[in-house]
Chains A and B, each alone.
Chain A
Amino acid sequence: MKLITAVVKPHRLDEIKEALQAFGVQGLTVTEASGYGRQRGHTEVYRGAEYTVDLVPKIRIEVLVEDADADELIEVVVKAARTGKIGDGKVWSLPVDTAVRVRTGERGPDAL
C-alpha cells in the first residue's frame, strides 16, 4: 500500500475531490496546513508598514491506495491541483506497512 500526500492550494480541494471520486478512491483525509515553497510568502501593508507573511494557507490531502494504483493516482491529483501559477504545491507517496479498518478489524488492502 501507499500513502499519497498532497499539499496544495485550498481552492483546488473540490476539483481534487471530484477527480479522486471519479478514480474510485473510497476515502480521504483533509487537513488545513500552512507553509511555503520556493515562492515564499506574501506581503501585506498596513499604514505603509510592510509585513512579510512567510507561511501561506494550504491544505493537505492524504489518501491510502494499493501499490498498483499509486502512480496513476498521483497523476490524477497533480492534474486536478494544477493552476500553472506559482505555489501550486507538492504531491508525494510513501510506503505503508499496515492499515486496519477500526470497525471490522480488516487489515491490508481489505481495509481500504
Chain B
Amino acid sequence: MAPAIITLAADAPKLDTGNTAFLLLSSALVMLMTPGLAFFYGGMVRVKSALNMLMMSFISLGIITLLWTGYGFSFAFDGDNGGFLGGTSWLGLRDIAPDDLWGATGTPVFAFAAFQLMFAIITPALISGALADRVKFTAWSLFIAVWATVVYFPVAHWVWGGGWLGQKGVIDFAGGTAVHINAGAAALGVILVIGKRVGFKRDPMRPHSMPWVMLGAGLLWFGWFGFNAGSEITADGVASTVFINTQIATAAAMIGWLAYERLRHGSFTTLGAASGAVAGLVAITPSCASVSPLGAIAVGVIAGVICAAAVSLKYRFNYDDSLDVVGVHMVGGIVGSLLIGLLNTGGVGQDVKGVFYGGGWHQLGVQAIGVFSVLGYSLVCSAILAKLIDMAMGFRVPEDVEISGIDQAEHAETAYDFTGVGSVSHAAPSGVETVTRKVDA
C-alpha cells in the first residue's frame, strides 16, 4: 500500500477518475461484507440468539465509523510516530480537503479513508463469532470500541500506515495479519477469559439456518473482491491479478475443505462448502498479490484442508470458539501469510521472492515476525481488555439468560414468530385499525 503522503506541490498527481471510481466501489463492496458476516454467523447459532449475532456485527458499523472519524484514520494513517502509531492532524477528519489526494494513486484521501474504514469495521465484527450466545451487548460494544483503539488502529498502522512491520518488509496485501490473525487472536484472548457457553460439548448447538450461512458466505465472497483487489487502490494489472487469484484460491479451498470432510466424516456438507470458501478468502488475502494463479490453488487447497482440521481443536483443547473464528481466521491468516515466504513469485510488483522461486528463507522469517507479533499483541491486549471489562461490568450475561436465549433478554426481540394459537395476547399497535372479517354462514 502507498505511503501516507498528501501531495501538495504544483506538480501533484492529478485526480484519476478511474482509480477513484474503482476505490469507491471497492469500499462499497467491503461494506457489504459486514452484513454478509452477520448472516454467516447468524445462521450458525441457535434460533434463540440469532438476532444478537446479527447485532454484534451491525453495531460495529455504528461504533467504528464514529471512532474512525474521530481519531482512527489519523492514528492509523497520518504519518508515523516511532513505527507504532500515526499522528493527530486528521482528528475528526479535519484538514482534509475534497481535492487532497492519497499519495500518487490519483484518488482522494476521503476515498482511501472510506475504504480503510470498512476494514476497521469488519475486523472487530469477525471476533464476535467466538463469543456467540453469551456476552452482554453493552460489554461487547465497549470491547470493540476500546479494542479498535488499542489494537486495530495501531496494528493497521504497523502493517499499512508506514509502521514498523511495513518497514521490516512484511507483506500483507489486504489484511492477513492486520485483519484476520488480529481478529482470530483477539477472539482466542477473549474466550480464554470469559469461558465456555453453558452446555458446551454437552448440549446440541446446531446451526439454525444453513441458508443464512450460505447467503452470508456468498456476500463475503462477493465483497472480498473489493477487499483484496481494492487494496491495490489503482485499477491496474496488480488489481486484476489479485482479483483472479482471490477467485481461484477460494474455489480451491472450498474443494479442499469438502474433500477433507468427505474423507473424514463421510459427507459433503453445506457448512463445509461455506467455511472452505471463507478459509480460502482469508488465506489468499495477504498473499493475493504475491502468488501466481497456480500458487493461488496451492494456497487455497492448503488453507482449506488445514482450517477444516483446525476447527476441531476447540474440542481437543476444550475452549469454546463458538463459530471457529480462531480455526478459520487466525489459522487461515497464518497459512496465507507464511506461504508468501514460500510461494512469492516476485513477479507482481514486488522485488522479493519466496523459497520456491529462489528467494531464500529471509522473507519467510520476515513473514513469521509479522504473524507472531500481531498474534501475540492482539492476544495479550484482548485478554487483558476482556478481564478489565469483566471486572468492571461483567462480560457475560447471567446463566439463565444464556439458557433462555439472549435475543429476548438483550434486545427484547426474537428472530422468528413461532407463536401458536392464543399464545400471545396484546393490543394492536396504536394507529392500526382492527378489521373483523365477515364470514358467510
Residues of A in contact with B (beta carbons under 8 Å apart): 44-53
Contact = CB atoms under 8 A, between A and B. Distances in A.
B269 A45 contact: yes
B315 A47 contact: no
A53 B207 CA distance: 13
Interface string B267-308: 101011001000000000000000000000000000000001
Contacts of B315: 49
A53 B269 CA distance: 17
B contact residues, range: 10 to 19
B167 interface: no
Contacts of A48: 261, 264-265, 308, 311-312
Contacts of B267: 45
Q: Which applies to chain A's interface (DSSP): helix, strand, loop or mixed?
A: strand
27 contacts: A44-B206, A45-B261, A45-B265, A45-B266, A45-B267, A45-B269, A46-B206, A46-B207, A46-B269, A46-B271, A47-B269, A47-B271, A47-B272, A47-B275, A47-B308, A47-B311, A47-B312, A47-B324, A48-B261, A48-B265, A48-B311, A48-B312, A49-B312, A49-B315, A51-B204, A51-B206, A53-B204
Interface of B: 204, 206-207, 261, 264-267, 269, 271-272, 275, 308, 311-312, 315, 324
Contacts of A53: 204
Nearest to B44: A46
B315 to A, nearest CB: 7
A50 B266 CA distance: 12
Contacts of A51: 204, 206
A47 B129 CA distance: 15
Nearest to A47: B311
A10 B275 CA distance: 32
Contacts of B261: 45, 48
A57 B431 CA distance: 42
What are the 6 tightest A-B residue pairs by CB atom distance, in nearest-first order?
A: A51-B204, A48-B312, A47-B311, A45-B265, A46-B271, A51-B206
A44 B324 CA distance: 18
Contacts of A50: 265
Given A47-B269, A48-B311, 5 more contacts: A45-B266, A45-B267, A47-B271, A47-B311, A48-B261
